Amino acid sequence: MRPASFVLLHVRDVDASSRFYEALLDRPPVEKSPTFAMFVYAGGFKIGLWKAANVAPATSGQAGSSEIVLMCDTDQEVDDICAAWQAKDVSILQRPEGMDFGRTFTAEDPDGHRIRVYCRADEPV
C-alpha cells in the first residue's frame, strides 16, 4: 500500500469551499469539477473537497471533530499567518497562544472543518 496521499473533506458547496481554500493557501486548485476540487499545499500535502451530497456511502460525520494541521518554523510565523487569515475574514476559533506542544491557533473553514497552525515547542511538556 502507498503512503496516505491526501485529506478528503466533505463539503456542502464545492465552489464556496474552493474559493476559501484558494484564498487561504494562496494557490488555485489543481483539479476542479462541480463535485470535487483538489489543492496541493507546500511539500506536496493535498486537500480534497468532495460535495457531501455525492459521497458514497453517505457521510454521517460532523465537521470540526478532527483537524488539518499545518506546521510552522517559528512562533512569529504562527502569529503572522493568523493575522493574514484574519485579514481574509477566516473564522479564528482560537487566537495564537502557547500550549504544551507549542505556539498554535485554530481556524475553521465554511463547513466547520478545523485547521490548526502551530510551531512545535523546543521541549514539549
C-alpha cell at 45: 500535502
Confidence (pTM) = 0.86
What domains can you pick out in the chain, each with its CATH number? Answer: 7-54 (3.30.720.120), 67-120 (3.10.180.10)
Taking all residues of the chain, what is their mean pLDDT, rounded to a whole number? 92
pLDDT of residue 44: 87
Average pLDDT over every residue of 81-110: 96
pLDDT of residue 42: 80
Q: What does the alpha-carbon distance between residue 72 and residue 41 come to, in Å, rounded to a whole number?
A: 13
* Beta strands in the chain, from DSSP E residues, in sequence order: 7-11, 31-33, 36-40, 46-51, 67-71, 91-99, 102-108, 114-120
53-85 per-position pLDDT tens digit? 999 998 887 777 789 999 999 999 999 999 999
